[in-house]
A = this chain, B = another copy of it.
């Protein structure tokens, strides 16, 4: 029987920044069977380009503020350079990839984040995922490759968190078809000991997560990812979310988040 489950795979910036790792990951992604969607983050190219152009990166509470100049850079790098490189590489690996930002086919609509209490600038929060567009593409054998640039209903492009884009895309797809969500990143999973790659926590549930947070095992770097994962498994038909190494996409490794 053919597995019709759509796999939504998120790949982070660290892998994007490393050509050899990115190529290896894309080879693995190409081998993944059945319909699939790739969501990619940004990496350091945008920061580097901003530096070269003298555009300052302003941070508030560890979060980047997206000025109009920085948005243009993000659109160029995420929706242009990275997205098209990834698509071209996947095509050469036999995947009929198609690159999208949220504006394309209105696949991900957002709303500009309110300027209060903190004005993060040209940043959008996802309000709607158009599954008609995404399933029209996958039904035609195309593999969407989505960057974290979205657009509001007035045609303004906005910078959006890539983990959130992956989560909301998977949640929406799960309403129309069985969906899996996989976050790939540089570590083997959520680790008991951040220095020990063999200390992967196999499973996290609502019953165990609080203790892991209280003990500082799920720290501020990992918390948004785990929160996104719980959001997905509690607010949609997704059965589980896997957080795992980008080097081990096709095995059973990583941390499973379930309800």
Contacts and interface: CB of A to CB of B under 8 A. Distances in A.
A88 to B, nearest CB: 4
A149 B79 CA distance: 13
A151 to B, nearest CB: 4
Interface string A60-90: 0000000000001001111111011101111
A41 to B, nearest CB: 16
A80 B85 contact: no
Main SS of the interface on chain A? helix
A98 B142 CA distance: 14
Contacts of A114: none
Contact of A84 (B79, B89, B91): B79
A209 B85 CA distance: 42
B76 A88 contact: no
16 contacts: A75-B84, A76-B81, A78-B80, A79-B80, A80-B81, A84-B104, A84-B151, A84-B157, A85-B157, A87-B151, A88-B151, A91-B103, A91-B151, A93-B155, A98-B133, A136-B140
